Structures are given as C-alpha cells and as structure tokens.
Amino acid sequence: MHLVSEVGEEVADREFEALLSSLSHPPSFTCVRVNTHLAPQQQIQHALQQELTGQQLCGCHGEDASLVPLPHPQLPDVLLLPIIGPRRVCVLDSEVVVGAQCGSSVLRGAHVFAPGVLSAPKTLQVGDMVSVFSDVENKCTRGAKSFEGQKVFLGNGVCEMSRSEVFCSKGLMR
C-alpha cells in the first residue's frame, strides 16, 4: 500500500501490468557459464555449436532454428544462446496450475516441483502429458481439481508424480 500512496494508483496499476507482462515472456538469451580452467572459451563455444547442430539435424529444435552460441561482450567466461521463438504449442486438455513464483521460475528454465503445484486434475497419473499454467493473481487454492481464474500458459510437460503424490503430506519424498 505504501507504493500506491507514493506513486499513485494509476502508475502502480500500470507498473503491475508491465510486471505481469514481463513475467509471462522468456528472456532473450540463455546464459551458459564456461569453466575456462578446463578449456578456452572458444573451444567450448565450438563444442557447444557442434552439439546444437547435431540436435537440429535430428529435429529437436525445428527445421529452421539455428542456435549459435555467442561470446558475452563483457564476461569472458559466459556464452549467450539466443532464444528462438515464439513457437506454436498446442494446449492440452489436462491442465496443471502452478503459483506465480513457480511460473516465473519455469519461464527461466526451472522444472516444476510438487510444492509449486496448486491445481491438478483428479485423474492425473505419472507419465501424463499436461499443459502447465501459472496463476497470475494468486487466487488458486492448493489441491484444487481445476481453476478458471486468470492464468498464463507456460508450456507442456510430462507428469512425474500422480495427483495423490503431489498433494499428499505423508507421501514419499522424491
């Protein structure tokens, strides 16, 4: 409430909407740290380029994607991988909703872990393909079977735990 009194409600609302928008988009680059004690940056850059080319040849990143690692302009032990996209992704019928903090982490490359899951279908089983959404307003209650509030699509994945394992307080920890 202090921020609203300092800048005004209209500015605070505009800033909040800008924050929500930025959290729903991935970064422009992925940073890769290079251990220059083991090999020179150029050698690692070349090896990474070969690996990425091999993945492209087997169709892992689409037919027209060309991932080229670039040296960071200021940090000698960092390579940059440009993010290519957006790509078309189909939303699946089975939806899992995660909290906003978990959703932000997923957009930065993290996996979804059970504590971040708020809602999952009652039939969710290990191996199910699911679409993952983030609850942007923090209105989804943990353990819900579905959620119709404001949410942002993050991507698709494969479930590694059943619904009962995700929401059971006494279950085995993985």
| pLDDT tens for each residue of 103-148 | 999 988 899 999 999 999 999 999 999 999 999 899 999 999 999 9
Domain boundaries, given as residue ranges, for the chain: 29-82, 95-167
CATH number of 95-167: 2.30.130.10
Predicted pLDDT at 89? 76
144 DSSP 8-state letter: B
According to the model, what pLDDT value does residue 159 have? 93
Give the pLDDT means over successive 10-residue stretches in the chain (174 positions).
72 87 82 92 93 63 66 94 78 94 91 95 94 93 93 92 87 52
The per-residue pLDDT for 109 is: 86
Kindly give the pairing relationship between strand 129-135 and strand 95-98: parallel
Single-letter residue type at 142: R
Whole-model pTM? 0.55
Note the pLDDT of residue 52.
Answer: 82
pLDDT of the residue at 170: 65
- pLDDT the model gives residue 119: 96
pLDDT of residue 1: 53
Which pLDDT belongs to residue 66?
A: 66
- DSSP letter string, 20-77: HHHHTS--SEEEEE--TTTS-HHHHHHHHHHHHHHHHHTTTT-SS-----EE-SS-TT
Sheet containing 78-82, strands listed edge to edge, beginning at the edge strand earlier in sequence: 29-33, 78-82, 70-71
Sign of the CA dihedral running 158, 161, 164, 168: negative
